């Protein structure tokens, strides 16, 4: 297959699966109404007047503070942690690094519940009494950050690993390692750090569970209310437009900033150990206190609360929800796998395209419920039974929502590969697939790992779209946990959350124990 025809197939599939259902919904709401219904213009004007509502403006501003605050705090935690893991001789860093990714396995709303239990706001099992209320924006930002910072740590760590260590080695000859870190390493991995921050910002923007539990009214609650309290799909879609616009503006600024800069650095196998910053004893202690405190707050405290709450009824929980556990794991693995393959090709073919980003990012800020409805309108017809009545529709839901995240995880890694490497291969008459397999894939493998992990975690947590498009008989774990939570079944909720963590953790630990060399690659 030639490069051109593969590019055509990739873009066609991308357009049909990802873009068309959303455009179809938007078109049915705007253009068709305007064409055939004269009163629609009046109603459209009414919707637009939403944006002059001071209440809505306040909520929007608060949501921006929530999302921006979370992104900044995550970067403040995640970036130094990644540097400690990748650029220093911190003792036990390989183990700590693995542990620091674990908070990703606890959905933010479960983490919020655990904290509410701990701080005495909800349960009477484990609690400490506080002299102040925890129901405020600051708590929401802290809880979200403790749940999200591993995204930053992961992407920053992989970016540091992917750097050509020769650059650092050369700089080390003329200046101190600290200066190399701040003047060479940090500027070179800025694209990955900023993209990771952007992910956290967007995911926080659309978070519903944590703010509603902490009694913070956010913009996503407003969209949700239009959709589910007033059944007003049109205004829900219109209200989501500023979020889409915001995502586009941010990514355009990012691309503009990236344009004149060169990040061409090919990872080689030269020994990174020579470049490690030697920490003094005091620095080691301070660093360890920092890392261990964050991991304790983000993982061990919520986990301990879950363990106490669960009363270790793990077997009972496994019997109760084994179908949902396997559905979730299977769908998340399949979703992440497909997403990684498709993201690679989309990212590869759109490497030099100016406008592709706008399409890639179109779905990123659209609320999951609206994506769910657009999928129903598009795929619910007799010709598409095979898709709509089976798990395939759930996978498509994952692809629409999370493909932009995985593509954007890849892009900085792909951009780091020098064009000359591929051109040389072309001169040597290497075929397209050979070039992909022998050059791009090996050089972008850190990006591929990162993309898969990001995709897997996002799929595993997904609730909003799955709930709307799931065919009867297929239920995922988040849906089950949420239902159990409603009925105050804290034991089962906690047990299932622990099972979910163990199901990921046990294979990973076993794999790492049997093949220790893998530890250094993660």
Partner 1 sequence: MDNTKILIGIIAITVIAGILWAAQSSQQQNEVVIYVAHDQDYSEPILKEFERETGITTKILYDTELTKTVGLVNKLIAEKSNPRADVFWNNEVSRSIQLKNENVFQPYCSPSSIDIPAQYKDGNCYWTGFAARARVILYNTNLVSEEEEPNSFLEFADEKWKGKTCIANPLFGTTGTHVASLFALFGDEKAKQFFLDLKENEIQIVSSNSMVRDQVVAGECWVGITDTDDANDAIVDKKPVKIVFPDQGNEQIGTLVIPNSVALIKGAPNEKNGKILIDYLLSKEVEKKLSETKAIQIPTRDVETPKNVPKLSEIKGMSVNDYQIFEKLKISGEFVQNIFLR
> Site residues (CB under 8 A) for partner 1?
55, 58-59, 120-124, 208-209, 212-213, 215, 217, 221-222, 225, 227-231, 233, 334, 341, 369, 372-373, 376-377, 380-382, 385-392, 433-434, 437, 463, 467-468, 470-473, 475, 479-480, 482-489
CB 86, min distance to partner 1, A: 30
At a CB cut-off of 8 Å and minimum separation 6, what does 196 contact?
A: 74, 75, 78, 151, 152, 154, 155, 156
Tokens 């939403």, residue located = 50
CB 21, min distance to partner 1, A: 12
Q: Are 498 and 302 in contact, with CB atoms under 8 Å apart?
A: no
Of residues 485 and 498, the one with the C-beta less far from partner 1: 485
CB 389, min distance to partner 1, A: 5
Of residues 120 and 242, the one with the C-beta less far from partner 1: 120
For every residue of 416-453, DSSP letters joined together read: TS-HHHHHHHHHTT--HHHHIIIIIHHHTHHHHHHHHH
CB 237, min distance to partner 1, A: 13
Long-range CB pairs of 215-218, under 8 A, 24+ apart, other chains included: 215/135, 216/62, 216/66, 216/135, 216/136, 216/137, 216/140, 217/59, 217/62, 218/59, 218/62, 218/63, 218/66
Of residues 19 and 392, the one with the C-beta less far from partner 1: 392
Read off the tokens for 357.
């980003």
Angle at 483 between CA 119 and CA 203, to 5 degrees: 65
d(CA 425, CA 434): 9
b/e code 336-353 from CB counts within 10 Å (16+ = b): bebbbebbbbbbbbbeee
Of residues 174 and 386, the one with the C-beta less far from partner 1: 386
Of residues 98 and 126, the one with the C-beta less far from partner 1: 126
Of residues 213 and 244, the one with the C-beta less far from partner 1: 213
d(CA 143, CA 69): 11
Helical H segments across 88-128, by residue range: 93-101, 108-118
CB 172, min distance to partner 1, A: 37
d(CA 140, CA 214): 7
CB 380, min distance to partner 1, A: 5
Of residues 117 and 168, the one with the C-beta less far from partner 1: 117
CB 12, min distance to partner 1, A: 16
CA 482 to mean position of chain CA atoms: 20
CB 227, min distance to partner 1, A: 7
Of residues 160 and 393, the one with the C-beta less far from partner 1: 393
For every residue of 326-385, DSSP letters joined together read: HHHHHHHHHHHHHHHHHHHHHHHHTTT-SSHHHHHHGGGGS-HHHHHHHHHHHH-SGGGH
Q: Are 373 and 25 in contact, with CB atoms under 8 Å apart?
A: yes
CB 114, min distance to partner 1, A: 13
Of residues 187 and 471, the one with the C-beta less far from partner 1: 471
Read off the tokens for 288.
């360890």
Of residues 57 and 264, the one with the C-beta less far from partner 1: 57
Residue 112 exposure: Cα atoms within 13 Å on the Cβ side: 27
Of residues 5 and 385, the one with the C-beta less far from partner 1: 385
Of residues 380 and 418, the one with the C-beta less far from partner 1: 380
Of residues 350 and 369, the one with the C-beta less far from partner 1: 369
CB 282, min distance to partner 1, A: 43
CB 55, min distance to partner 1, A: 6
d(CA 202, CA 365): 7
Which of 401, 386, 390 is closest to 464 using CA atoms? 401
Angle at 121 between CA 120 and CA 125, to 5 degrees: 45
CB 396, min distance to partner 1, A: 12
CB 118, min distance to partner 1, A: 12
Q: Are 320 and 492 in contact, with CB atoms under 8 Å apart?
A: yes
Q: Are 308 and 127 in contact, with CB atoms under 8 Å apart?
A: no
List the end-to-end C-alpha distance of the chain, in Å, as a whole number.
34
């Amino acid at each position: 297959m030639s490069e051109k025809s593969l590019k055509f197939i990739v873009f066609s599939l991308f357009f049909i699966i990802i873009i068309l259902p959303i455009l179809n919904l938007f078109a049915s709401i705007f253009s068709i109404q305007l064409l055939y219904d004269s009163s629609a213009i009046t109603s459209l004007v009414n919707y637009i007047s939403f944006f002059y509502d001071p209440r809505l403006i306040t909520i929007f501003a608060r949501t921006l503070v929530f999302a921006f605050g979370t992104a900044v705090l995550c970067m403040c935690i995640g970036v130094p942690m990644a540097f400690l893991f990748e650029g220093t001789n911190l003792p036990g860093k390989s183990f700590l690094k693995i542990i620091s990714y674990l908070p990703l396995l606890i959905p933010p709303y479960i983490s919020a519940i655990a904290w509410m239990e701990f701080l005495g706001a909800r349960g009477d099992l484990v609690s400490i009494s506080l002299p102040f209320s925890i129901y405020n924006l600051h708590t929401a930002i802290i809880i979200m950050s403790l749940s999200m910072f591993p995204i930053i740590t992961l992407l920053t760590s992989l970016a540091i690993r992917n750097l050509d260590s020769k650059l650092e080695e050369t700089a080390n000859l003329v200046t101190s390692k600290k200066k190399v870190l701040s003047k060479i390493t940090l500027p070179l991995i800025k694209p990955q750090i900023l993209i990771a921050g952007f992910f956290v910002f967007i995911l926080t923007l659309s978070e519903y569970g944590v703010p509603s539990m902490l009694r913070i009214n956010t913009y996503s609650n407003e969209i949700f209310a239009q959709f589910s309290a007033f059944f007003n799909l049109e205004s829900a879609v219109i209200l989501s437009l500023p979020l889409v616009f915001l995502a586009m503006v941010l990514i355009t600024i990012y691309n503009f900033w990236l344009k004149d800069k060169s990040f061409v650095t090919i990872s080689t196998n030269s020994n990174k150990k020579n470049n490690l910053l030697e920490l003094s004893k005091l620095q080691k202690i301070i660093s360890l206190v920092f890392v261990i405190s964050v991991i304790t707050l983000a993982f061990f405290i919520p986990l301990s609360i879950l363990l106490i709450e669960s009363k270790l009824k793990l077997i009972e929980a496994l019997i109760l929800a084994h179908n949902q556990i396997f559905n979730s794991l299977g769908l998340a693995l399949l979703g992440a796998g497909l997403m990684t393959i498709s993201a690679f090709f989309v990212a590869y073919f759109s490497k030099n395209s100016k406008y592709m980003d706008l399409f890639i990012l179109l779905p990123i800020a659209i609320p999951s419920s609206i994506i769910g409805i657009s999928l129903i309108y598009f795929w619910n017809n007799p010709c598409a039974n095979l898709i709509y009545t089976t798990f395939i529709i759930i996978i498509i839901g994952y692809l629409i929502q999370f493909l932009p995240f995985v593509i954007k995880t890849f892009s900085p890694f792909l951009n780091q590969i020098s064009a000359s490497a591929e051109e040389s291969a072309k001169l040597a008459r290497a075929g397209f697939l050979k070039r992909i397999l022998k050059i791009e894939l090996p050089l972008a493998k850190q990006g591929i790992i990162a993309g898969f992990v990001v995709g897997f975690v996002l799929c595993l947590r997904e609730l909003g779209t799955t709930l709307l498009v799931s065919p009867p008989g297929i239920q995922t774990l988040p849906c089950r946990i949420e239902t159990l939570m409603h009925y105050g079944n804290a034991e089962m909720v906690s047990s299932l959350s622990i099972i979910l963590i163990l199901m990921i953790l046990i294979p990973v630990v076993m794999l790492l124990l049997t093949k220790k060399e893998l530890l250094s690659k993660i």
